Amino acid sequence: MKWVHLLLIIIAISAVAPYVASKNPDGLQKTAELIGVQESSFPALMPGYSVGFLRGDISNVMAMIAGVLIVFTSGYAIIKLRK
Amino acid sequence: MHIPDGFIPLSQAGIYYVVAIALAIRAFRWVFRELPENRIMFIPMLSAAIFALQAINIPIPWGTSGHILGSAMSSIILGSPYAGVAVITLVLSVQTFIFYDGGYTAFGANLLAMGIVASFTGYYAFLFLRKLTGKLYPSIFMSAWLSIVISAITVAIILAIAGTFPLKLGIMYMGLYHAVIGVVAEGVISTMIIKFLTKVRPDVLPLSISEEVKE
């Protein structure tokens, strides 16, 4: 199997992630809820894994794919620096 | 398990930043100097895979959910805890500074707990269990499980030092939730992915994994 095939599988997983992920709070959020702690919030580029100009699930799907590509490209740039 | 803004005072957050960044630099230095050439593509591939997998929150009892960390898995696949730290640094940087998953001020603490503590715990637990039992996949499962539980307890301790969570309650809830998440997510997914890699790319895996494949 070639690396590009693995990357395509990863992109496919990221595209379905918004549909299959549980909406329940994660372990830390739930603990904070139980103890009664509030978090602060600041502006971000794509908060909540969503693209600002899109609505609904497609916004999350596009944000996830963008995220995968940004992470992959950053990692690839780093290994290219080594060479 | 990403700590948001507002949970850690800035003075403490600064200390976690310094410690985490120092270790991240050491990790990337390892990638540049010591990571074998045939495993180099795992850095972007694992980073992208872990980013995608961390977005899949798996439901567990008590109305909560959890996702994998991937630190132990990366360290085992690449043969060093520094590799896990480098991969998680990449993932967490994008999650924090683009998607705001985890607070800007808490980045250092998050990297310390999810990247550094989880990678070192997972990797050395794997080596120990592998030597003790001789079994590859149970050792991967147990070390991955342990890495997320210890990481969660580290978060609870960080938040107790910050005065955000009471220590006992924090450790109890975080430990309990992540002990379950560790079984259904971290342990199972890490084992499955490494088993998959032993089938498709056994040539690039470290000896600690590939020895059993040859048996």
> pLDDT above 70 covers what percent of chain A?
98
Does A81 reside within a domain? yes
| B212 pLDDT more than 80 | no
Q: Which residues of B touch A14 (CB under 8 A)?
A: 51-52, 55
Range of the domain at A59: 10-17+49-83
Contact: B5, A40; criterion CB under 8 Å:
yes
Q: What confidence tens digit (pLDDT) does each residue in B148-157 have?
A: 999 999 999 9
Does residue A37 have a pLDDT over 90? Answer: no
From residue B153, alpha-carbon distances to A49, A72, B115, B174 in Å are 26, 30, 14, 6
> Count of domains in chain A?
1
The ipTM value here is 0.92
In a domain, A23, yes or no: no
Judge whether residue A27 has pLDDT over 90.
Answer: no
Tokens of B105: 């001020």
CB pairs under 8 A between A and B: 182
pLDDT in tens, B17-29: 999 999 999 999 9
Which helix (H) or strand (E) segment is B59 a member of? strand B58-60
Domain ranges of chain B: 10-54+69-210
Q: What is the pLDDT confidence band of residue B188, given thresholds at 50, 70 and 90?
A: very high
**DSSP H or E run through B60:** strand B58-60
The tens digit of pLDDT for each residue in B121-156 reads 999 999 999 999 989 999 999 999 999 999 999 999
CATH 1.10.1760.20 fits B10-54+69-210, yes or no: yes
3-state secondary structure of B65: strand
Q: What's the pTM value of the predicted model, to 2 decimals?
A: 0.93
Q: What is the pLDDT of residues B70-109, one digit of tens each?
A: 999 999 999 999 999 999 999 999 999 999 999 999 999 9
Which pLDDT tens digit goes with each residue over B152-180?
999 999 999 999 889 998 899 889 989 99
pLDDT of residue B210: 66
Please tell me which residue, A83 or B179, carries the higher pLDDT value: B179
User: For B50-54, B72-76, B179-183, B206-210, which range has the lowest pLDDT when averaged over its residues?
Assistant: B206-210
Distances (CA, A) of B155 to A30, A56, B96, B111: 14, 32, 16, 10
Q: Using CA atoms, how far apart are residues B195 and A8, in angstroms rounded to an integer? A: 19
pLDDT at res. A41: 82
User: Which residue is closest to A77 within chain B, CA to CA?
Assistant: B44
Distances (CA, A) of B166 to B112, B156, B157, B160, B181: 20, 8, 9, 6, 22
Q: Give whole-number Cα distances, B53 to B8, B142, B143, B166, in Å.
A: 27, 19, 18, 30
Tokens of A40: 């602060």
pLDDT of residue B215: 44
Which chain B residues have a beta carbon less than 8 Å from that of A31? 156, 165, 169-170, 173-174, 177
Chain B residue whose CA is closest to A83: B32
**Mean pLDDT to the nearest integer, B2-18:** 95
What gap in Å lies between CA A33 and CA A18, rounded to an integer? Answer: 23
Query: For residue B111, what pLDDT is reported?
Result: 98
Q: Is pLDDT of B52 > 70? A: yes
pLDDT grade for A36, boundaries at 50, 70 and 90: confident
Q: Which chain A residue shows the shortest CA-CA distance from B154?
A: A28
Within 8 A of A24 by CB-CB distance, chain B residues are: 57, 59, 63-65
**Averaged pLDDT for residues A9-38:** 88
A26, A28, A50, best to mutate vs chain B, most B CBs in 10 Å = A28
Taking the alpha carbons of B102, B106, B107, B109 in that order, is the dihedral positive or negative?
A: negative
Indicate the residue of A13, A41, A71 with minimum beta-carbon distance to B94. A71
CA distance B67 to B37: 30
Instruction: Count the helix, strand and coil residues of chain A and give each as a percent rounded to the nearest 5.
Output: 65, 0, 30
- Look up residue B57 and give its DSSP letter: P
